């Protein structure tokens, strides 16, 4: 999914943007607002206050259960 944001937008801003544009998709909105989600930007774990740059790849990661 590719999203256009204003300059200086944070991951939290991205979440708000995606949620407001996808209100009909309750599953997506619920998943993005899950407090247990971890966030990555360009494959590095970070938090929702991180400011995004053009072309950044943002990941929303549920609790892992691997190995």
List interacting residues with other proteins (CB under 8 A). 40, 43, 59, 61-67
Beta carbon of residue 67, minimum distance to other proteins (angstroms, whole number): 4
Beta carbon of residue 20, minimum distance to other proteins (angstroms, whole number): 26
- Residue placing its CB nearer to other proteins in the complex, 12 or 61: 61
Give whole-number Cα distances, 57 to 2, 16, 18, 22, 67, in Å: 9, 17, 14, 19, 25
In angstroms, rounded to a whole number, what is the distance separating the alpha carbons of residues 24 and 35?
21
């Amino acid at each position: 999914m590719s999203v256009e944001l204003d300059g200086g937008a944070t991951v939290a801003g991205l979440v708000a943007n995606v949620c407001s544009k996808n209100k009909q998709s309750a599953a997506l909105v619920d998943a993005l607002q899950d407090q247990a989600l971890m966030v990555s930007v360009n494959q590095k774990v970070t938090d929702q206050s991180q400011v995004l740059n053009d072309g950044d790849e943002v990941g929303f990661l549920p609790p892992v259960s691997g190995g």
